[in-house]
Chains A and B, each alone.
Chain A
C-alpha cells in the first residue's frame, strides 16, 4: 500500500512524515487555487530532497484555467519527465494527451462517477439489491470503458470513499482511495467569495475572489443528513473515517479539507 499526502498549499508540507512515499499537490475544485510555478518548484524540491514521488492535482477549468495549467505541465515535464497528473476535466486530459504525452494521466475522483449523497445509507433496507448495487458501483465495471481508458494511457483511477461503500472489483487498474474527506458537490457560483460584503448577500454569481475560502469553513446541518456537511469554498464535503474497501493500492490522506 502506497501512502500519499495530499496538500493544497506549501504550509501543509508540515504534515509530511516518513510514512509517505508520494505527495499530491494542487487543487481539484477551483482554478483560482491552481498553484503558481514558484510554489510547484518548492514542492518539487522537497520531493527530490526526500526521494519520494509526485503527482500534480488539477481541477475542472475554463479555457483560462487551461492556460494556467499548461506552463505547469511544461515545467514538470522538463523537471521530472513522467510525472503523474490527476485530471478532473476531460479537457485537461485532452491537453495532456496531445501536448504532454510524457505525463501520466490519472482519472481524478470527480470523474469517477458514484453517488456520494450521505442519505443513501438510510436506504439499505428500503431498496432492491439492484438499486443498492448501483449506488455502490461506478461505470468502471464496464469493460469497454476500461479498455478506452487503457488505450488512452490511463492506468490509475482515483476514488472517493462513500459512506455506503464502493465496489472496486476491477483488478486491471491501480486504484487510489481518498481519506477522510469525500466530495459531494461543487459550484462555480461560490458562496464564500465576497462573503464579508453585506451588500453582496444576494449576489450569488461569479464575483471577484479574495480567497476567503482559505480562512473560513462552514458546517451545514439538517437532521435528515446522517453526517454533517462541510462547506469549504465552492465545495461541499463529507467526512468518512471508515474504509470498507481493501482493493485499493494507494491511500491519499488529506490532513485538511482540500481547498
Chain B
C-alpha cells in the first residue's frame, strides 16, 4: 500500500519524499486562467499556497520527483468545465503531456473523454469528485480508460472492500486531513468566492459557516417530547459539522490495517495548502505507521499503537466527528 502526499513548493519535495511519500500530487493556478476565471480554480483550490506558481515550476517539480524515483500527479479536478474553457484546457493538457506527468486527477466526465481521446498515453485517476461509491462506478470509469479511482470519503470499510473485491482498477482512499462533511462530487456549494470579495464572513466555505437552526417540529412541552432533543442535537451537530472540514487532524489511521488487507493501492494525505513542515510531519507520521504495519502486528495491537501515536503526535484525543472510519473506533 502506497502513501500519497501533497506538494506545492519545490523546496519541500525532497523532504516529503524522504519522510516516506511513495507518490505525490500537486496543482497549478495558471495565470491566464485566473485572469479569465478568477473565482474558479481548475483544481478546486483557490489559494496560491496550494499550487506551484506555473507550469515551469511544475516541470522542475517533476524532474525532482523523478530523480528520486517518485511519481507525481496533477489535479485537474474541478467538478465541471464548460466548452468556452477548452481553449485554455487544451493548452494545459498539451503541456502536461510534454512534461511527462505521471497521472492526472479528473472529476469531469467530459474532460476525461477529451483527454483520453487526445492523450491516451497519459494515465487518469478519477478524483473523489467523480463519486465512486460502488464497484459498478469503478468499472464504468475503467471502461473509459481510468487507471485508478479515488473513493468517496464517506464509505465504510465494508463498502470499500466490496468495491475492491469486484474490480481490477487501482483504488485510493483518504486517510488524513480535511474530512469534507459532504459528498464531494455532489456538493454544489462554491469554494473560491474569496478571490472576488475578500470578506470571509460572506464568502467563506458554506460548510464551515455557523447557521441559526430552526425546525417546524412541535416545541418542548408539546405531545412530541423528543422534538426539543432533536432541535438541540441538530444545533450541536451543525456546530460540530462546521469544524469537520478543517478542524485539526481528521484521521483514519486505525483503518490502515484493514485497508492494507483489503488491497487498497494507495492512501492519501490531504493538504496541498499546508505549510511544508506540516506536510513533512503528516507524511512521517503515516509512514511510521505503515512501517509498523510491515512488521505484521495483530489488528488490535496496531489500532492501539495508532491511537497512542495520534495522541502523542498531534496532542488530540480521537473524536467521532474527526474520524474517517468511525466503525473502527
User: Does B214 touch A at the CB level, under 8 Å?
Assistant: yes
Q: Which residue of A lies closest to B166 (CB)?
A: A63
Q: Which residues of B contact A211 (CB under 8 A)?
A: none
> Across the interface, do B80 and A113 meet the contact criterion of CB distance under 8 Å?
yes
User: Does A90 touch B at the CB level, under 8 Å?
Assistant: yes
User: Does B71 touch A at the CB level, under 8 Å?
Assistant: no
Q: Which residue of A lies closest to B193 (CB)?
A: A119
User: Does B39 touch A at the CB level, under 8 Å?
Assistant: yes
Q: Which residues of A contact B236 (CB under 8 A)?
A: 201-202
> Across the interface, do B133 and A185 meet the contact criterion of CB distance under 8 Å?
no
Known A-B contacts: A66-B135, A117-B189. Give 15 more (CB < 8 A): A62-B133, A63-B159, A63-B162, A91-B139, A130-B84, A138-B82, A145-B113, A189-B154, A191-B234, A191-B238, A195-B233, A203-B321, A220-B211, A222-B209, A222-B212
User: Does A165 touch B at the CB level, under 8 Å?
Assistant: no
Q: Which residue of B lies closest to A229 (CB)?
A: B211
Q: Which residues of A contact B131 (CB under 8 A)?
A: 60, 89-90
User: Does B95 touch A at the CB level, under 8 Å?
Assistant: no
Q: Which residues of A contact B246 (CB under 8 A)?
A: none
| 8 A-B contacts (beta carbon < 8 Å) | A66-B134, A131-B38, A133-B84, A139-B110, A185-B187, A186-B183, A188-B152, A206-B326
> Across the interface, do B137 and A91 meet the contact criterion of CB distance under 8 Å?
yes
Least distance between B264 CB and chain A CB atoms (Å) = 16
Task: State which of A119, A191, A231 has its C-beta within 8 Å of the C-beta of B206.
Answer: A119
Known contacts A90-B137, A117-B188, A205-B326, A216 near B230 by CB under 8 Å: yes
Task: State which of A93, A134, A144, A206 has its C-beta within 8 Å of the C-beta of B154.
Answer: A206
A138-B82 Cα distance, complex, nearest whole Å: 6
Q: Which residues of A contact B320 (CB under 8 A)?
A: 202-205
> Across the interface, do A123 and B193 meet the contact criterion of CB distance under 8 Å?
yes
Q: Which of B15-23, B194-202, B253-261 contacts A (4 or more CB under 8 A)?
A: B194-202
User: Does B298 touch A at the CB level, under 8 Å?
Assistant: no
Least distance between A179 CB and chain B CB atoms (Å) = 17
A254-B139 Cα distance, complex, nearest whole Å: 33
Q: Which residues of A contact B240 (CB under 8 A)?
A: 201-202, 204
Q: Which residues of B contact A134 (CB under 8 A)?
A: 37, 40, 82, 84-85
User: Does B136 touch A at the CB level, under 8 Å?
Assistant: yes
> Across the interface, do A187 and B182 meet the contact criterion of CB distance under 8 Å?
yes
A65-B136 Cα distance, complex, nearest whole Å: 11
> Across the interface, do A186 and B187 meet the contact criterion of CB distance under 8 Å?
yes
Known contacts A117-B190, A220-B211, A65 near B183 by CB under 8 Å: no
> Across the interface, do B133 and A61 meet the contact criterion of CB distance under 8 Å?
yes
A202-B83 Cα distance, complex, nearest whole Å: 44
> Across the interface, do B233 and A201 meet the contact criterion of CB distance under 8 Å?
yes
A180-B206 Cα distance, complex, nearest whole Å: 22
Least distance between A191 CB and chain B CB atoms (Å) = 5
Known contacts A133-B84, A187-B183, A202-B320, A90 near B193 by CB under 8 Å: no
Least distance between A92 CB and chain B CB atoms (Å) = 7
User: Does B241 touch A at the CB level, under 8 Å?
Assistant: yes
Q: Which residues of B contact A148 (CB under 8 A)?
A: 109-110, 113
User: Does B79 touch A at the CB level, under 8 Å?
Assistant: yes
> Across the interface, do B80 and A139 meet the contact criterion of CB distance under 8 Å?
yes
Q: Which residues of A contact B188 (CB under 8 A)?
A: 114-117, 183-185
Task: State which of B134, B162, B201, B321 has its C-beta within 8 Å of the C-beta of A89.
Answer: B134
Q: Which residues of B contact A66 (CB under 8 A)?
A: 134-136
> Across the interface, do B154 and A188 meet the contact criterion of CB distance under 8 Å?
yes
> Across the interface, do A224 and B209 meet the contact criterion of CB distance under 8 Å?
yes
Q: Which residues of B contact A184 (CB under 8 A)?
A: 187-189
Least distance between A89 CB and chain B CB atoms (Å) = 6
> Across the interface, do A113 and B140 meet the contact criterion of CB distance under 8 Å?
no
Q: Which residue of A lies closest to B180 (CB)?
A: A187
A184-B189 Cα distance, complex, nearest whole Å: 7
> Across the interface, do B133 and A141 meet the contact criterion of CB distance under 8 Å?
no
Least distance between B73 CB and chain A CB atoms (Å) = 22
> Across the interface, do B186 and A91 meet the contact criterion of CB distance under 8 Å?
no
Q: Which residues of A contact B214 (CB under 8 A)?
A: 218-219, 221
Q: Which residues of B contact A117 (CB under 8 A)?
A: 188-190, 206
Residue interface mask A185-217, B partner, CB < 8 A = 1 = 111110110011110111111100000100111
Interface hub of B135, B139, B187 (most chain A Cβ within 10 A): B187
Known contacts A133-B84, A144-B110, A222-B211, A91 near B133 by CB under 8 Å: yes
User: Does A142 touch B at the CB level, under 8 Å?
Assistant: yes
User: Does B323 touch A at the CB level, under 8 Å?
Assistant: yes
Residue interface mask B207-223, A partner, CB < 8 A = 1 = 10111111111000000
Least distance between B158 CB and chain A CB atoms (Å) = 9
